[in-house]
């Protein structure tokens, strides 16, 4: 057992069990789908749609995180975190993702625009692996029957770690899609504009 990070004051009202069950039913499928999507991309099985799949999975998991973050503080029943078994080793996953994103893995981001607006270097592969690690740890508790513990962990880690990382990676992947879809050579763009103009003229009434 490990001592949990202090995230709540004793006087805060806890979320009701019925509300936790309802929210869990909504967010857990999104968390599992995210893990499946990232592992699938890391395996190299979907090279042509990898970025699109990750954009969809990140958008979905961030929606789940927003639900957790907007809830009343979840207060676990015990001060110490119960043992849910050994955590998964995400280093092979990070390495596989790094190979897939070779050349576009590193990106710059502001650490904290409100408190410490300094620019630091992050990596898509490392951040995705960290998110997977955070979500998988909660799923260990959830699958062991510790629903409150799992929900507390997901809420705490969303606010402290993976929510911000997921938002940063999502923005980077959206920008990659933008460059891929919109950055075309001038001659290609001019030819497309020429074809579009003549298409309009051909369908215009005399």
Condensed to tens digits (0 to 9), the pLDDT of residues 79-110 reads: 667 666 667 799 999 999 999 999 999 999 88
Grouping H, G, I as helix, E, B as strand and the rest as coil, residue 74 is coil
What residues are paired with 107 via a beta bridge?
A: 122
Question: Which of 44-48, 67-71, 185-189, 191-195 reaches the highest mean pLDDT?
Answer: 67-71
Helix 91-100 vs helix 17-42: crossing angle, to nearest 10: 50
- What does the alpha-carbon distance between residue 118 and residue 173 come to, in Å, rounded to a whole number? 22
Residue 85 gets the label, from left (phi > 0), alpha (psi -120 to 50) or beta, of left
The beta-carbon contacts of 89-96 under 8 Å, at least 24 apart in sequence, are 90/129, 90/130, 90/132, 90/133, 90/136, 91/129, 93/38, 93/39, 93/42, 93/128, 93/129, 93/132, 94/125, 94/126, 94/128, 94/129, 95/125, 96/42, 96/43, 96/44
Tell me the pTM: 0.80
Residues whose CB falls within 8 Å of the CB of residue 142, separated by 6 or more in sequence, listed in order:
24, 28, 150, 151
Residue 166 has pLDDT above 90, yes or no: yes
Q: What CATH number does the domain containing 140 carry?
A: 1.20.120.1550
For the segment 17-68, what is each residue's pLDDT rounded down to a tens digit? 677 888 999 999 999 999 999 999 999 877 788 999 999 999 999 999 999 9
Helix 50-70 vs helix 147-157: crossing angle, to nearest 10: 110
Structural domain of 192: 2-202
Domain count, the chain: 1
């Amino acid at each position: 057992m490990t001592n949990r990070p202090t995230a709540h004051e004793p006087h805060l009202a806890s979320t009701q069990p019925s509300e936790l069950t309802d929210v869990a039913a909504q967010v857990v499928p999104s968390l599992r789908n995210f893990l499946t999507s990232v592992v699938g991309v890391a395996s190299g099985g979907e090279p042509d749609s990898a970025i699109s799949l990750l954009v969809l999975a990140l958008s979905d998991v961030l929606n789940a995180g927003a639900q957790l973050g907007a809830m009343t503080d979840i207060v676990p029943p015990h001060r110490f975190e119960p043992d849910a078994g050994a955590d998964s080793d995400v280093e092979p996953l990070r390495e596989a993702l790094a190979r897939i994103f070779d050349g576009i893995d590193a990106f710059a981001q502001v650490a904290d625009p409100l408190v410490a607006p300094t620019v630091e270097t992050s990596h898509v592969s490392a951040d995705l692996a960290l998110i997977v690690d955070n979500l998988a740890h909660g799923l260990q508790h959830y699958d062991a029957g510790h629903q409150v513990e799992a929900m507390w962990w997901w809420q705490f880690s969303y606010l402290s770690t993976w929510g911000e990382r997921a938002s940063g990676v999502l923005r980077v992947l959206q920008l990659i899609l933008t460059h891929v879809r919109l950055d075309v050579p001038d001659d290609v763009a001019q030819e497309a504009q020429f074809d579009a103009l003549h298409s309009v003229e051909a369908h215009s009434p005399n």
